[in-house]
Amino acid sequence: MTIILCENISKEYFVVVTLFGFCFAYNFLRDNIFVYFYKHIL
């Protein structure tokens, strides 16, 4: 039971960290691209 419980927790934790990482990367890239265009347009 303990091994199964640990695997379930680690899988859920991995999913949460992965989603958070994708959201952070998306916001980071979006902000950088916006700043890049903003600087080159002006």
pLDDT the model gives residue 3: 62
Domain boundaries, the chain: 1-42
Rounded Cα–Cα distance for residues 30 and 42 (Å): 18
Half-sphere exposure of 35 toward its Cβ, with a 13 Å CA cutoff?
6
Residue in the structure block whose two tokens are 């695997």: 7
Q: What is the pLDDT of residues 1-42, one digit of tens each?
A: 566 666 666 788 888 989 999 999 898 888 888 888 888 876
Rounded Cα–Cα distance for residues 27 and 35 (Å): 12
pTM of the predicted model as reported, rounded to 2 decimal places: 0.48
